[in-house]
C-alpha cells in the first residue's frame, strides 16, 4: 500500500516546535476538535479550566474569515489557557451536508501532526437537535483515529442531549465521564460565553452553559468504530 504523506502546512514547523517546547512543561496533551467558536467552551470549557496541567490545542473548523468571531475565539482560548487554529468550512444556515473527505482534510490541515494523550470532540449524534456540523465532525474525528491519521491514547466525545428540543442541552448521566463543575469554574466558563462571546444572558447559549460536563470515553479506535456502526452508546454495566 502506498504511504500517504500529509502536505506540509506553512505553520507546520512553527506549531510542531511550539508544541515540543510546551510539552516539556505540561503533563497531558489534549486536542479539542469542534465545529464552531464557542463549542469548546460550552461542552468542555469547565473541564479544560479545571485541568491547568493540560496542554490544550483547540481546532475550530469554521468562521476563520469572520473577523469578529475569530477574535472572540482567540480571546476565549486565552481565557481557557489553550492554543488553537481555525478553519473555514461552510457553515451556512441551510447546513448543506459536507463530504467526509472535506471535513477530514480540514481537520488534518489544522492539527499539529503529533500524538495526543487525549482527543475531545463532538458526539456522532450531536449535542442538541440539531446541528449537522457537530455530527459530521464527530464522525470525521473517529474515522481519522481509526485510519491512524490522528493518533491519540483515547477519545472523549461530548455527551449531551436536549430531549429533541424539549429543554436546553443537558449532560447524559450514564456517560463514561461526568464532571460536576466547581462553582468558580462554572462562573469562569459562563463569563467566556457572556463576556467574551458576548451572548446575551437570555440567549440559548447563555441559558445552556452546562454546570456539568459529560463525555463518552473510548480507549481504542475499535470501540469508537463500533459506535459509528451502532449509532448509539450502550449503557455500560459495571
Ligand atoms: Zn456548534
Q: Is pLDDT above 70 for 234?
A: no
Ligand 1 centroid from CA 159, angstroms: 14
Domain 12-70+79-228 belongs in CATH node 3.20.20.140:
no
What separation in Å is there between the alpha carbon of 38 and the centre of ligand 1? 7
pLDDT, position 186: 98
The Å distance, Cα 1 to ligand 1 centre, comes to: 37
- Tally of CA atoms within 13 A in the half-sphere of 165 that contains its CB: 3
Reported as type and span, the H/E element at residue 212 is strand 212-218
Residue 162's pLDDT band (boundaries 50, 70, 90)? Answer: very high
Three-class secondary structure of residue 48 per DSSP:
helix
Q: What is the b/e burial string over 123-136, where b = at least 16 CB atoms within 10 angstroms of the residue's CB?
A: bbbbbbeebebbbb
Distance from the alpha carbon of residue 21 to the mean position of ligand 1, in angstroms: 31
**Spans of all domains in the chain:** 12-70+79-228
Which helix (H) or strand (E) element contains residue 18? helix 12-23
Contact yes or no for 92/63 (Cβ under 8 A): no
Q: How far is the CA of 205 from the centre of ligand 1 (A)?
A: 10
Q: Which tens digit of pLDDT belongs to each residue from 60-80? A: 999 999 999 999 999 999 999
Ligand 1 centroid–CA 3 distance in Å is 34
For the cut 70, the answer to whether the pLDDT of residue 33 exceeds it is: yes
Instruction: Say what percent of the chain tops pLDDT 70.
Output: 87
Amino acid at each position: 500500500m502506498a504511504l500517504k504523506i500529509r502536505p506540509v502546512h506553512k505553520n507546520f514547523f512553527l506549531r510542531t516546535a511550539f508544541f515540543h517546547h510546551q510539552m516539556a512543561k505540561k503533563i497531558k496533551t489534549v486536542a479539542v476538535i469542534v465545529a464552531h467558536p464557542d463549542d469548546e467552551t460550552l461542552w468542555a470549557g469547565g473541564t479544560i479550566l479545571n485541568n491547568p496541567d493540560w496542554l490544550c490545542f483547540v481546532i475550530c473548523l469554521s468562521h476563520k474569515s469572520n473577523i469578529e468571531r475569530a477574535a472572540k475565539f482567540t480571546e476565549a482560548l486565552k481565557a481557557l489557557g489553550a492554543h488553537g487554529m481555525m478553519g473555514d468550512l461552510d457553515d451556512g444556515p441551510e447546513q448543506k451536508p459536507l463530504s467526509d473527505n472535506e471535513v477530514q482534510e480540514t481537520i488534518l490541515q489544522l492539527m499539529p501532526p503529533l500524538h495526543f494523550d487525549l482527543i475531545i470532540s463532538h458526539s456522532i449524534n450531536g449535542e442538541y437537535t440539531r446541528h449537522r456540523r457537530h455530527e459530521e465532525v464527530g464522525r470525521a474525528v473517529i474515522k481519522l483515529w481509526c485510519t491512524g491519521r490522528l493518533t491519540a491514547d483515547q477519545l472523549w466525545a461530548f455527551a449531551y442531549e436536549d430531549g429533541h428540543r424539549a429543554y436546553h442541552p443537558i449532560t447524559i448521566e450514564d456517560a463514561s465521564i461526568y464532571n460536576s463543575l466547581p462553582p468558580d469554574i462554572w462562573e469562569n466558563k459562563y463569563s467566556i460565553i457572556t463576556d467574551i462571546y458576548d451572548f446575551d444572558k437570555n440567549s440559548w447559549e447563555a441559558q445552556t452553559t452546562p454546570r456539568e460536563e459529560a463525555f463518552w470515553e473510548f480507549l481504542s479506535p475499535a470501540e469508537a468504530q463500533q459506535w459509528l456502526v451502532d449509532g448509539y452508546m450502550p449503557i455500560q454495566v459495571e
